[in-house]
C-alpha cells in the first residue's frame, strides 16, 4: 500500500508541495495519515492535517482530541475548524456537513497545493448506488475521481477496499474512532452500506470492485461527452454567453449536452433532467421578445438567473437597482451600490485626457434622455439608441454607471469616451473599466 501511495503522489504532485489531509479520525483517514507520514521519508512534501468539528455527535470533542494526539505522534501539524450546521438548510444533515467540510478544507489560510481525502473503494461503490437511486446521469454515475485537478483534490485510496485498510491498521497498530451515526440506516448511505451491499455480495462477492469499475467506465464516457460539448459550443461562446441559434442547429441530445457543459463551466448547480429539458425548450421556442428568467443556483449557493437577449443566453447575478450619485477622487477602485465596481488605471494614448484635470469625476445611474457623442465623425445621438446599437442586454443598461466630468457625460461603459475628452496618442489617459 505504501508503494502504491508513493507512485500516486509522484504522478500527481511535485516535490516540496503542501498537502492538506482531511482527518476525521475514522479508519480511512487515520490509515492515510500514517501512510503519508511515512512517505515523507522518500518523497519531499509538506504535510498538514485538518479536522472539521461539526458538533453533531456528543463525542465530537473527543474525536478532535484523538486527532490531535495522532498528529502529534507523527509530527504532523493539525488545524481544528469548528463549523455550525443550519437546521433549515435544504441540503440535509449529511449534505450540509459534507459541504461545510469541503468549504473548510478548500477555503483556508493554509494555502495547500492539494487537499487529500481518504475515500476508498467501498465509498465509491456506495456513491454509485446512491447516484443510481437518484436517477443520475453519466456525470453522477462517474462518482468520485482519484485526481480532481480542477478542485486540487486527491483521493489516493480510491482503489483500495476497506478490508485492506483494516488489515493495514491492525498490522501497524493504528487506532481510530467509530462514528456512532454510521450504524444508523435511516441515512441513505448507511442503508446501502449495511443492508444493500451485503445482500448483493451474497450473489456476487466482488460487487464492490464491479461497481467501482462501472464508475470508472461512466467517468470515461462523461469525459467524452464533455469533449463533444466543448467542440459543439466552441463557436457558440462569446462574452460569457451562449448562442441559442447555434444551439438550435444541434439535435436535442447534443444541444442539452452543450447546455449542461456550459452551466457546469459557470459553476452552476446542475438542474434536474426535467428542468434542463424545460430550459432548453424555453430557449429554443420562446418568442424573440419573450422575457426569459429562469432561476438557478451556483455551487456556492448564490442565486443566478438564466436570461436570453437577441438569440444569446446569459447567466446573470440578481442585482437590486439602486439610485446613486458618487464622487471619484483618485481611488483605484470604486464600489457601486448595485454590486458592480469601477476600476481606474493610468494609460497612455487612450482613456480620458488627464491634461484636462480629471481629479474628480461624478458617477451616477441613468435618468433617461442623455445624449452622447463618442465618435467625432458621427452626430450626437441619444444614449438609449447607442446602447441598443451596441446590443447591450437590458439588465446591464438598468445598472449602467455613467461617468461625468464637470457637467459633461465623459464615459459610458460599453460605448466609449466623449470625443472631446479622449486622450490623444502619446498623452496620459485615465482608463475606466466597469466590472458588473
pLDDT class for 90, splitting at 50, 70, 90? Answer: low
Q: Is the separation of the CB atoms in 256 and 235 below 8 Å?
A: no
Residue indicated by cell numbers 424545460: 278
At residue 276, the pLDDT reads 93
Give the 3-state secondary structure of residue 28. helix
Sign of CA dihedral 245, 246, 249, 255: negative
At residue 88, the pLDDT reads 65
Question: Which residues fall within 8 angstroms of residue 102, CB to CB, at 6 or more apart?
Answer: none
Q: Please report, for the chain, how many H helices and E strands are present, in that order.
A: 15, 22
Q: What is the pLDDT of residues 172-188, one digit of tens each?
A: 999 999 888 888 888 88
What span, in angstroms and rounded, lies between the C-alpha atoms of 353 and 347? 10
Q: Name the CA dihedral angle for 295, 301, 302, 305, rounded to a multiple of 10 degrees.
A: -20
Q: How large is the average pLDDT for residues 258-269? A: 93
pLDDT class for 91, splitting at 50, 70, 90? Answer: low
> Which one, of 402, 429, 427, 428, lies nearest residue 414 by Cα?
402
At residue 96, the pLDDT reads 78
The continuous run of DSSP H or E covering 428 comes out as: strand 428-435
Question: Directed axis angle between helix 27-39 and helix 60-73, to 10°?
Answer: 20
At residue 77, the pLDDT reads 96
Residue 87: is its pLDDT beyond 70?
no
Q: Is the separation of the CB atoms in 47 and 9 below 8 Å?
A: no
Give the 3-state secondary structure of residue 202. helix
Question: Directed axis angle between helix 2-12 and helix 27-39, to 10°?
Answer: 70
Q: How large is the average pLDDT for residues 47-66? A: 89
Residue 89: is its pLDDT beyond 70?
no
Q: What is the DSSP string of 122-179?
A: HHHHHHHHHHHHTT--HHHHT---SEETTTTEE-TTTTS-HHHHHHHHHHTT------
At residue 21, the pLDDT reads 96
Q: C-alpha cell of 222?
A: 462523461
Please state, rounded to an integer, the average pLDDT across all residues of the chain: 91
Q: How large is the average pLDDT for residues 197-215? A: 95
Q: What is the pLDDT of residues 391-426, one digit of tens each?
A: 888 888 888 999 999 989 999 999 999 999 999 999
C-alpha separations of 202 from 94, 131, 160, 190, 206 in Å: 28, 22, 21, 18, 10
Which runs of consecutive H residues, i.e. helices, occur in 17-91? 27-39, 60-73
At residue 84, the pLDDT reads 82
Give the DSSP letter of residue 24. -
Q: C-alpha cell of 349?
A: 494614448
Q: What is the pLDDT of residues 300-359, one digit of tens each?
A: 778 999 999 988 999 998 877 778 899 999 999 999 987 789 999 999 999 999 999 998
Q: What's the start-to-end Cα distance of the chain, in Å? A: 51
Q: pTM for the full model?
A: 0.77
HSE (CB half, 13 Å, CA atoms) of 317?
13
Residue 11 CB burial class (10 angstroms; 0-12, 13-18, ≥19): exposed
Task: Name the E strands within 246-351.
Answer: 293-297, 303-309, 312-316, 325-328, 333-335, 341-348
Amino acid at each position: 500500500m505504501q508503494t502504491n501511495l508513493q507512485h500516486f503522489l509522484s504522478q500527481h504532485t511535485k516535490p516540496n508541495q503542501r498537502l492538506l489531509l482531511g482527518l476525521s479520525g475514522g479508519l480511512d483517514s487515520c490509515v492515510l495519515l500514517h501512510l503519508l507520514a511515512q512517505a515523507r521519508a522518500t518523497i519531499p512534501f509538506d504535510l498538514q492535517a485538518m479536522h472539521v468539528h461539526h458538533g453533531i455527535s456528543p463525542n465530537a470533542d473527543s474525536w478532535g482530541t484523538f486527532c490531535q494526539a495522532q498528529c502529534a505522534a507523527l509530527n504532523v501539524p493539525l488545524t481544528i475548524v469548528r463549523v455550525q450546521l443550519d437546521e433549515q438548510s435544504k441540503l440535509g444533515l449529511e449534505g450540509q456537513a459534507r459541504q461545510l467540510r469541503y468549504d473548510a478544507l478548500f477555503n483556508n489560510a493554509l494555502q495547500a497545493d492539494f487537499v487529500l481525502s481518504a475515500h476508498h473503494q467501498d465509498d465509491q461503490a456506495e456513491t454509485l448506488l446512491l447516484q443510481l437511486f437518484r436517477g443520475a446521469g453519466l456525470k453522477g454515475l462517474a462518482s468520485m475521481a482519484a485526481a480532481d485537478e480542477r478542485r486540487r483534490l486527491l483521493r489516493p485510496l480510491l482503489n483500495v477496499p476497506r478490508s485492506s485498510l483494516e488489515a493495514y491498521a491492525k498490522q501497524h497498530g493504528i487506532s481510530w474512532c467509530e462514528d456512532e451515526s454510521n450504524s444508523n440506516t435511516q441515512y441513505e448511505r448507511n442503508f446501502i452500506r449495511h443492508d444493500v451491499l451485503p445482500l448483493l455480495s451474497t450473489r456476487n462477492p466482488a460487487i464492490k470492485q464491479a461497481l467501482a469499475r462501472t464508475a470508472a467506465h461512466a467517468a470515461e464516457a462523461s469525459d467524452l461527452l464533455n469533449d463533444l460539448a466543448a467542440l459543439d459550443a466552441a463557436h457558440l461562446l462569446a462574452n460569457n454567453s451562449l448562442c441559442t441559434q447555434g444551439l438550435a442547429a444541434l439535435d436535442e441530445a447534443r444541444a442539452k449536452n452543450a447546455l449542461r457543459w456550459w452551466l457546469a463551466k459557470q459553476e452552476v448547480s446542475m438542474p434536474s433532467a426535467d428542468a434542463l429539458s424545460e430550459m432548453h425548450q424555453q430557449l429554443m421556442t420562446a418568442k424573440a421578445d419573450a422575457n426569459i428568467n429562469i432561476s438557478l443556483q451556483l455551487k456556492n449557493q448564490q442565486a443566478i438567473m438564466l436570461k436570453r437577449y437577441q438569440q444569446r443566453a446569459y447567466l446573470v447575478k440578481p442585482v437590486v437597482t439602486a439610485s446613486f450619485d458618487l464622487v471619484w477622487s483618485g481611488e483605484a477602485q470604486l464600489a457601486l451600490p448595485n454590486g458592480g465596481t469601477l476600476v481606474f488605471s493610468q494609460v497612455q494614448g487612450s482613456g480620458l485626457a488627464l491634461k484636462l484635470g480629471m481629479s474628480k469625476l461624478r458617477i451616477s445611474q441613468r435618468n433617461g434622455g442623455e445624449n452622447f457623442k463618442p465618435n467625432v465623425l458621427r452626430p450626437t445621438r441619444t444614449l438609449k439608441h447607442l446602447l441598443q446599437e451596441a446590443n447591450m442586454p437590458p439588465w446591464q443598461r438598468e445598472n449602467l454607471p455613467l461617468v461625468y466630468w464637470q457637467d459633461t457625460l465623459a464615459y459610458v461603459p460599453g460605448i466609449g469616451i466623449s470625443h472631446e475628452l479622449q486622450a490623444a496618442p502619446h498623452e496620459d489617459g485615465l482608463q475606466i473599466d466597469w466590472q458588473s
